Amino acid sequence: MPKINWEQTEKQSEVWGYLNDKTTTDILFGGGAGGAKSFTGCAWIIIMCGKYPKSRWLIGRKKLTALKESTFITFLDVCKKWGIKNGRDFKITGQQQNIITFSNGSTVYLKDLFLYPSDPEFDNLGSTEYTGAFIDEANQLVYKAVETVKTRLRYKLDEFNLVPKLLATCNPAKNWVYMEFYKPNKEGKLESCRKFVQSLVTDNPFIDSNYINQLKSIKNKAQKERLLFGNWEYDDDPSAMFSFDIISDLFTTKAKNQEEKFISGDISRKGSDNMPIGYWEGLQLKEIHVLPYEIRSDTKKSAQWIMDFADKKGVRRSHIVLDEDGVGGGVVDQIDGCIGFINNSSPIQSFEVKYDESKRVNYSNLKSQCYFMLAQFAEQGNVGVSETTDAIRNAIVEELGVVKQRDIDKDGKLAVIGKDKMKEILAEALTMRI
Ligand SMILES: Nc1ncnc2c1ncn2[C@@H]1O[C@H](COP(=O)(O)OP(=O)(O)O)[C@@H](O)[C@H]1O
Ligand SMILES: [Mg+2]
């Protein structure tokens, strides 16, 4: 390969320092668009391939198609810039044209890291070991994808005297990139093996001025804040029902009054891949179970599973609330004494309405009422979610975050857990009435 002369931006030198030290293992280069993030990742992989013959690297992104259409184009651009020639210095092979083999035997695998429901454990990644990995647009992945890649970073590390390194890039997002890197870094609590570097387009002298103008012309305020200014706190949208801080608090809050036990279940998730069943002690969501296909596809088996679970946990039938819309009805009918939840039914009125009309609540339906009540309880710091998997946690953060006041009546994308919780609140409301 020809000799490489990389003229780096200041941020690139900072990242480069972490990529070459003996202590850092995880680097997040994240923030605004055009901050030279993808270039940095590709440049690193190319240089390492040249320096360590027969090493093996991974470049990952949510979908292989997006990887090929964008990150890999940057890879080829960097190669071209440095006089590294396709056909002479490397070749592209593999059934999906996703393996790059350099003339010194080093290889790069382009990988799809999307969480497919059929492969929840990322078995598809196989047992292949890598020397290091670069993940572009990592905010689009679930954290488990990143953790799984990390377990594969072992290939020839001792031989090369290297430590495992993972470089991830992203735009600001309120999910694991924020919680695992951005926030701890801001608070000075980031572990020493992890590094966060803020990306800004204004730090990149190589950027085309048209590119900055394009970013400046973005109409959507939140998008502009994220991409032009690299602002991580962009989502303070007044119509959002759950602020990010309140959602984050759910995972550390311990709800008061945990004596009464409840089960809530979303058994009507049409066309969806899961059927979450929640177990609650008061307003503390203690356990979440996603029923496997062979059970959820059969109303009889689903009903039996829920009844067995209720017996095991000691939950009374009147404290089981299940979605009654669609397929739900069948399950509800098979569990004597449980409560069916109908999204579109009228909101629950307190008994005082009989005497005082001004006490009447004005929600368009029961579902809206429950969302508003959930938001209220969460704001008071009285709803907690006990240990969950990263996938569920991310689903809660992302899906509750998009619940907006005006959209509340639309049966659009609902929060997996949000929906569960509101049913539990219904259970509370119902028991309060009895
Ligand atoms: N060290 C560099 N030398 C020359 N051009 C660079 C360098 N770093 C970045 N660039 C250019 O800056 C532009 C934006 O970089 P890119 O990595 O795509 O940004 P991001 O991934 O942060 O959006 C690209 O045109 C890229 O080629
Ligand atoms: Mg990029």
Domain CATH number, residue 426? 3.30.420.240
Note whether 289 and 409 are same-domain residues: yes
Higher pLDDT, 27 or 238: 27
Contacts of 293 (CB under 8 A, 6+ apart): none
The closest-lying atom of ligand 1 relative to the alpha carbon of residue 78 is 27
Ligand 2 centre distance from Cα of residue 200 (Å) = 12
Work out which ligand 1 atom sits closest to the CA atom of 29: 22
Q: What is the pLDDT of residue 421?
A: 53
CA of 36 to the centre of ligand 1 (A): 4
Cα of 269 from ligand 2 centre, angstroms? 35
- Res. 127 pLDDT band, cuts 50 70 90: confident
Residues spanned by the domain of 297: 244-433
What pLDDT sits at residue 369? Answer: 77
Q: Domain for residue 233, yes or no?
A: no
**Position with higher pLDDT, 409 vs 14:** 14
Under the banding of pLDDT at 50, 70 and 90, the label for residue 412 is: very low
Question: Average pLDDT of 49-55?
Answer: 98
Which pLDDT score is estimated for 180?
A: 92
Kindly report which listed range (18-32, 198-212, 328-342, 401-415) carries the lowest average pLDDT score: 401-415
Task: Tell whether the model's pLDDT for residue 209 goes beyond 50.
Answer: yes
What contacts 213, CB < 8 A, 6 or more positions away? none
pLDDT of residue 52 exceeding 90, the answer is: yes
pLDDT exceeds 90 at position 429: no
Q: What is the pLDDT of residues 255-285, one digit of tens each?
A: 888 888 999 887 765 545 567 888 999 889 8
Query: Tokens 């088996």 identify what position?
Result: 301
Supply the pLDDT for residue 424. 53
**Would residue 4 count as lying in a domain?**
no
> Whose alpha carbon is nearest atom 27 of ligand 1?
39
- Mean pLDDT across the stretch 229-246? 76
* The pLDDT of residue 372: 78
- What is the 8-class DSSP label of residue 268? -
| Mean pLDDT calculated for residue range 66-77 | 97
In a shared domain, residues 205 and 260: no
Are residues 345 and 221 located together in one domain of the fold? no
Measured CA to CA, the distance from residue 30 to residue 185 in angstroms comes to 12
Distance between CA atoms of 365 and 377, rounded to whole angstroms?
19
What does the pLDDT average to over 223-231? 89
Q: Could you give the CA distance from residue 72 to residue 77 in angstroms, rounded to a whole number?
A: 8
Backbone torsions φ then ψ of 368, nearest 5 degrees: -60, -45
Q: What percent helix, strand, coil does the chain show, rounded to 5?
A: 40, 15, 40
Same domain for 177 and 263?
Answer: no
**Domain identity same for 121 and 146:** yes
What is the CB < 6 Å shell around ligand 1? 7-9, 12, 33-39, 74, 77, 199, 204, 206-207
Residue 232, in any domain of the structure? no
In a domain, 1, yes or no: no
Residue 61 belongs to a domain: yes
* CATH number reported for the structural domain that contains residue 35 in this entry: 3.40.50.300
pTM above 0.75, yes or no: no
Closest CA to 100 of 115, 81, 85: 85
Closest CA to 416 of 249, 286, 289, 258: 289
Mean pLDDT to the nearest integer, 141-154: 94
Distance CA 318, CA 337 (A): 6
CA 40 to chain centre: 24
Q: DSSP string spanning 200-235?
A: -GGG-TTS-HHHHHHHHT--SHHHHHHHTT--TTTT
- Model confidence over 312-362: pLDDT tens digits? 999 999 889 887 776 666 888 899 988 887 766 676 776 776 777 776 666
CA–CA separation, 7 and 296 (whole Å): 57
Cα distance between residue 241 and residue 375, in whole Å: 7
- Same domain for 158 and 130, yes or no, is yes
Element spanning 385, H or E? strand 384-385
Residue 145 scores a pLDDT above 60: yes
Those residues whose beta carbon sits under 5 angstroms from the ion ligand 2 are 37-38
Tokens of 72: 């890999």
Pocket test for ligand 1, best of 71, 136, 137, 206 (most atoms within 8 A of CB): 206
For the stretch 245-260, pLDDT in tens is 788 888 888 988 888 8
Ligand of minimum distance to the alpha carbon of 37: 1
Between the CA of 33 and the centroid of ligand 2 the distance, in Å, is 7
Which one has a higher pLDDT value, 165 or 237?
165
- Tell me the sheet residues that pair with 404: 240
With a cut of 70, say whether residue 292 has pLDDT above it.
yes
Percent of the chain with pLDDT over 70: 85
Closest CA to 27 of 126, 110, 129, 135: 135
In the 8-state DSSP scheme, what is residue 2? Answer: P
Quote the pLDDT of residue 19: 98
Q: Which ligand is nearest to the CA of 67?
A: 2
105 phi-psi bin (left φ>0, alpha ψ -120 to 50, beta other): left
Total domains, the chain: 2
Helices 72-81, 37-51: axis angle to 10 degrees equals 60
CA distance 359 to 303: 37
What is the structure's pLDDT at 409? 47
Crossing angle of helices 390-401 and 143-151, rounded to 10°: 150
* DSSP letter, residue 177: I
Q: What is the pLDDT of residue 366?
A: 77
Based on the fold, state whether residues 196 and 262 are members of the same structural domain: no
The CB density around residue 105, as the number of other CB atoms within 10 Å, is 12
- Among 230, 224, 222, smallest CA distance to 202 is for 230
Would you say residue 3 lies in a domain? no
Distance of CA 300 to the CA centre of its chain: 33
Assess whether 180 and 279 both reside in one domain. Answer: no
Q: Which residue has the higher pLDDT, 431 or 166?
A: 166
Return the ligand number nearest the Cα of 137: 2
- What is the number of the ligand closest to the CA of 39? 1
End-to-end distance of the chain based on CA atoms, in angstroms? Answer: 78
pLDDT for 353 equals 67
Do 222 and 313 lie in one domain? The reply is no
SS3 109: strand
Do 205 and 318 sit in the same domain of this protein? no
Please say whether the dihedral angle defined by the alpha carbons of residues 388, 390, 391 and 392, taken in this order, is positive or negative. positive
In a domain, 366, yes or no: yes
Atom of ligand 1 lying closest to residue 199 CA: 22
Assign 432 a pLDDT band (cuts: 50, 70, 90): very low
Beta strands 261-265 and 320-323 are: parallel
Output 195 or 174, whichever has higher pLDDT: 195
Q: How far, in Å, is the centroid of ligand 2 from the Cα of 36?
A: 7
- Residue 307 shares a structural domain with residue 202: no
Count CB-CB contacts under 10 A for residue 143: 18
Residue that wins the pLDDT comparison between 79 and 376: 79
Does any domain span residue 237? Answer: no
Among the ranges given (81-95, 226-240, 377-391), the one the predictor scored with the smallest mean pLDDT: 226-240
What's the confidence (pLDDT) of residue 20? 97
Specify whether 148 is located in the same domain as 257: no
